[in-house]
Amino acid sequence: MEARELRALSNDELQGQLEDNYRRLFAYRRDLASRRLEDYNQVKAVKREIARIKTILRERELAKLIEEAA
């Protein structure tokens, strides 16, 4: 998912996406360890998606703090 699409989601939906991606990452790592994973790029893509989601959540958290301080 692109960052633009992720920004349209609510915080709860983002948390759900984050949990799903952590589960996928765990499954990919398990498959990698047992030599069943054919495409390592899947691991890289999930890690990037996790980073995107965490970045958006952090941006929203900081924006909220700045708004409260003003």
CATH number of the domain encompassing residue 48: 1.10.287.310
- Domain of 48, in residue numbers: 3-69
What is the model's pLDDT at position 47? 98
Dihedral pair phi/psi, residue 64, rounded to 5°: -65, -40
Q: What pLDDT, in 10s, does the model give residues 23-56?
A: 999 999 999 999 999 899 999 999 999 999 999 9
> What is the amino acid identity at position 30?
R
Give the residue carrying structure tokens 């709860």: 12
Count of domains for the chain: 1
What is the rounded CA–CA span in Å between residue 4 and residue 37? 29
Which pTM was predicted?
0.91
Scan for tokens 């691991």, then name that residue: 43
At 5, the pLDDT band (50, 70, 90 cuts) reads very high
**Is 28 in contact with 42 (CB distance < 8 Å)?**
yes
